[in-house]
Amino acid sequence: MLTRGMRLRLHRARQLLADPDASQLALADVAAQAGMSPFHFIRRFAAVFGDTPHQYRIRMRLERARQLLALGEGSVTQVALSVGFESPAGFSTAFCRRFGEPPSAFRRRLLPALAAPGRMPPLLVPGCLALMTAAWSSPQFLQSASERSAAQCRSPSHHRSKP
Amino acid sequence: MRIRLNSVLVDDQAKALAFYTGTLGFLPSQDIPVGEYRWISVRSPEGGDAELTLEPNANPAARAYQQALFEQGIPLTAFEVDDIHAEYRRLRNAGVEFTREPMQAGPVWIAVFADTCGNLIQIYQLPAD
């Protein structure tokens, strides 16, 4: 049973894991703040949120990085460091595994879609059911992630879904 | 005008498709790549023509809404079941975390679980006629 107290502690831990200012906080410390042993924390977090705390933290970093890249803010290296990765190489590998293309290729592809500097391309912030309309109205974006993955990610282990 | 479409916000579409089909048991319906995301829908194996779309929560407003509902313990949507106790046992055995075990709310039985995509989902059983 997921009690109210446990739900709120897991919710706060999730926010902490997504916080770029807390990117150096050890998972054991996040678990301690949630009042659980690391083992119990990892098991419970994964059962409720579908990712381990580590997977969730990496996913949030990659999503923030993707937004920064789409906004044209900073170099790939600067983006990697600012979201909490320790090396640009590790960042590029993780980005490619998740999104099917290297960060540099993503940025090149997205920049022409920038309506105005500093403003997110609409397809990165889909509104309610906006995808339905977008499916028909934006052919320039119709190339699927799997096609990109096959073309640009060299390792056969690179695919969009997580293990 | 008909109501045939409902949607749930999800924090990861691939993970959501795995949970809504593999764990809950819905059937995959549409899966169309749309730029950075996918138009994914599932339907019930028990029939009906309603589709449920698994919608990315990438919009910050969507994420804030989803997280606020979770924090307040409010389900995003509800699905009807014939035997809530059997569903509860089945999902519990599959590792699903419930925030509310089956309880009677007036003539209706309800239960609430976490869908691993950032939401609480209610299931309910209507009284037998």
pTM score: 0.85
Cβ distance of A126 and B32 shorter than 8 Å? no
B19 close to B125: Cβ distance less than 8 angstroms: no
Residue A15 has pLDDT above 80, yes or no: yes
Mean pLDDT of chain A: 81
What does the pLDDT read at residue A114? 63
CATH number, domain of B80, equals 3.10.180.10
Q: What is the least distance, in Å, from the CA of A162 to any CA of chain B?
A: 8
CB of A40 less than 8 A from some CB of B = no
A29 close to A44: Cβ distance less than 8 angstroms: no
CB of B30 less than 8 A from some CB of A = no
Of A4, A50, A54, A51, residue with least CA distance to A31: A54
Please state which of the ranges A55-59, A68-72, A81-85, B10-14 shows the lowest mean pLDDT: A68-72
- Calculate mean pLDDT across residues A12-17: 97
Cβ distance of A123 and B62 shorter than 8 Å? no
Q: What is the least distance, in Å, from the CA of B84 to any CA of chain A?
A: 16
CATH code that applies to domain A57-114+146-163: 1.10.10.60
Please state which of the ranges A77-86, A115-124, B58-67, B82-91 shows the lowest mean pLDDT: A115-124
- Euclidean distance between CA atoms A107 and A75, whole angstroms: 10
Find the residue in B nearest to A12 (Cα). B71
What does the pLDDT read at residue A139? 45
CB of A26 less than 8 A from some CB of B = no
Q: What is the domain extent for residue B55?
A: 5-125
Q: What is the least distance, in Å, from the CA of A97 to any CA of chain B?
A: 13
Of B89, B108, B92, B111, residue with least CA distance to B100: B111
What does the pLDDT read at residue A142? 44
Of A47, A126, A138, the CB nearest to B97: A47
B72 close to B60: Cβ distance less than 8 angstroms: no
What residues pair up with B55 in beta bridges, in sequence order? B9
Find the residue in B nearest to A133 (Cα). B34
Residue A93 has pLDDT above 80, yes or no: yes
What does the pLDDT read at residue A103? 94
What does the pLDDT read at residue A125? 63
A53 close to A45: Cβ distance less than 8 angstroms: yes
What residues pair up with B6 in beta bridges, in sequence order? B52
Q: How many CA atoms lie within 13 A of B23 on its CB side?
A: 22
Which pLDDT band, with edges at 50, 70 and 90, does A96 fall under?
A: very high
Per-block average pLDDT, block size 10, for chain B (129 residues)?
Answer: 93 96 96 85 93 91 93 96 98 97 96 98 94
> Into how many domains does chain B fold?
1
- Calculate mean pLDDT across residues A40-52: 97
